[in-house]
Amino acid sequence: MNTPRTSLYKDKSNAKLMGVCAGIADYTGVDALWVRLGAVFLLFALSGTLIPVYFVAGLLLNNKPEHLYRDPQEQKYWQGVRQSPKRTAREIRARMKDVDRRLADVETYYVSSNPRLNAEIERLR
């Protein structure tokens, strides 16, 4: 699952320095303020070793494409996919089961109210 929407980018549109924290925030769905505060905390906790890692990430990461998402709902969906792909697949499977059930209800309605169609379907089975 290596689509452009599941990759980590640096986000220059919301950047303060190089856009790494904003990219991580977009990737995880966490507010950028919390990611930046976490980075400052790690800066002190790791005695400054985060600085070279930050700049290497800023150099290696690609810029976020301009029109990666059509709307905020799509952005939230892809953040959910990145956080828990199995949960997302389970939710989609549940939606498809619901659609299948509703389609079966429609089919039952039309078949039961149309004896000619019912006979034709039975003949095909």
pLDDT over 60 (residue 106): yes
**Is the model's pTM score more than 0.85?**
no
**The pLDDT of residue 34:** 93
Q: Could you tell me which residue, 101 or 69, shows the higher pLDDT?
A: 101
**The pLDDT of residue 120:** 83
Which pair of tokens denotes residue 99? 């659609």
**What is each CA distance from 122 to 93, 100, 110, in whole angstroms?**
29, 20, 14
Query: Across the chain, what does the average pLDDT equal?
Result: 81
Q: Give the model's confidence band at 12: pLDDT under 50 very low, under 70 low, under 90 confident, else very high.
A: confident
Give the burial class of 22: count Cβ atoms within 10 A of its Cβ; 0-12 exposed, 13-18 middle, 19 or more buried.
buried
**The pLDDT of residue 3:** 66
